[in-house]
Chains A and B, each alone.
Chain A
Amino acid sequence: MPSTTDLEQFLITGLSLGGVYALSGVGMVVLYRATGVLYLAFGAVGAMGALISWQLSHQDGWNIWLSFVAAILFGGLITLVYGMIFGPALAGRDPLVKATATLGLLLILLGVMDLLWPSSGGASRALTIPTDNNTFQVGQISVTYTNVIALALGLLITIVTAAFLRFTKLGTAMRAMANDREITAALGVPVRRVEAAAWFGCGVLSGAAGVLLADLVALDSTSLTFLVIFTLAAALIARLRSIVVTFFAALVIGVIDAEITPINKISNYRDMTPFVLAVIALLVLNRRRVITVGRQGV
């Protein structure tokens, strides 16, 4: 049985990661509500942003903070471009088709990342946010400012987005579109612009999440790409609807996963956390069997 100190220390890790999953989850849920697209390439985009940041700061001598900005902008831009091309192209289709299409983007990015930054030869890269070096003690556990930023950012994004959706014109338009795109368009809402905002916003969050996860976990294209599963699990628990539930679900997932780490017997299985929780969420929360009239599949 691990010590209390261990458990407390891993709580910090869990909360930071949870914070990042939360900010990612919020991005994904808002985009889904506005466009019907479940952005499975979210992690891949973040991964590439992180690698670009590494490239600029470690190889090209950029200021590290500027490289982070580049990563975030990259995330926003590539997501926006994808959204502006493939959003309309797949507009009337089933969410399944839209989500599968993002898998196409995921594969392209995975291939590009492995070409530009090969992972062979055991050469490992690392991305360190300078705030990693600023630590403070809370009793026996040490907390870095990065940990604080990760959690704080998650909380901040959740609150800001919730407020944005409720109180601003653009936000209300996004909520309206989640209900019915055509009616919203008929009401004179600039649907394309609202969508663009949703895509760009989600992309920006993906870039930010990529940098944070690269720091907290590892700078590895495959791992970072598939960390999207954690975010996805949180979003599914929130039934792809509630931002607040996404936030709390993300924290819970992050904490559970981290807390299992020091428990030796099951430590290796800790990454099953998002899978197990997502399956439960899918089964329990989507209990009501929906019988579809009309074509299935892609």
Chain B
Amino acid sequence: MIEVSELTVRFGGVLPLDRMSVTFEEGTCGLIGPNGAGKTTFFNVLSGFVKPVSGTVSAFGEDLLAMTHYRRARWGVRRTFQTEQAIEELSVYDNVAMIHENSKATRSSRREDVLGAIEFVKLDVNPNAKVGTLGAAERRLVEVARAVVGKPRLVLLDEPAAGLPDEETAVLSEVIRAIPQHMGALVILVDHDMSLVSSCCEKTAVLDFGKMIASGPTTEVLRDERVMRAYLGTEEVAA
């Protein structure tokens, strides 16, 4: 369980996060909101790139904000970025192994865990292939493999389906749904693809202008009037 309490971030005069409070209980949780709502900022706080001016984040009972950023990976935070960041000049294996290297998992299980993660995300390429030679969809999957290897506890997926065609998104959806059970991690999924969010996430939270405006079972949240207004502006919402 991830408990976020009164989290506030200030950049000059802007408050990208404004006393955000929400609890992510378990499984795969969605986090949606219009562009500029603060979702990536929230992830950046969890990753440790941005320091909040106030608020707390308690992850499985531990104070996440007290840890130095690069130590959070060892603790079990994993993250994908909006533009995939798999290292092009290294092989798929090395890319995933690097994360494993810096985690709590042991060396002896490395080969097994890495190949297991690659298989889990249904990536069907030679593990020794250089990531730079792969196509965009496959690189995305490498990113996801990196996010699930080595005893992850909190997996942050930032628009993993962006730019992917429908069939790849369907595969991704299956993979994401399986993460909590197979890897024992809590997943927070940010995406604009509502069908992906509905199929993966039982519960979803909605962010707008840095504030939480709704949170609860996904189907209800997606029908919530406040949510629709946030996305579409204050004009009349089509029935």
**What residues make up the interface of A, taking CB atoms closer than 8 Å to B?**
291, 293-294
Contact = CB atoms under 8 A, between A and B. Distances in A.
Interface residues of B, number: 4
A294 B85 CA distance: 7
6 contacts: A291-B49, A293-B81, A293-B83, A293-B85, A294-B83, A294-B85
Nearest to A293: B81
Contacts, number: 6
A78 to B, nearest CB: 38
B80 to A, nearest CB: 12
Contacts of A291: 49
A288 to B, nearest CB: 10
Contacts of A293: 81, 83, 85
Contacts of A294: 83, 85
Contacts of B85: 293-294
A147 B83 CA distance: 55
B68 to A, nearest CB: 12
Q: Lowest 4 CB-CB distances: which A-B pairs, in order? A: A291-B49, A293-B81, A294-B83, A293-B85
Contacts of B83: 293-294
Interface in B64-106: 81, 83, 85
Nearest to A294: B83
Nearest to B40: A293
A178 B103 CA distance: 42
Contacts of B81: 293
A292 to B, nearest CB: 10
B69 to A, nearest CB: 8
Nearest to B49: A291
A133 B68 CA distance: 64
A291 B50 CA distance: 9
Contacts of B49: 291
A293 B81 CA distance: 9
Interface in B42-62: 49
Nearest to A292: B49
A112 B83 CA distance: 44
Interface string B163-201: 000000000000000000000000000000000000000
A118 to B, nearest CB: 45
B36 to A, nearest CB: 15
A291 B81 CA distance: 14
Nearest to A290: B49
B88 to A, nearest CB: 10
B16 to A, nearest CB: 15
A291 B68 CA distance: 14
Interface in B8-26: none
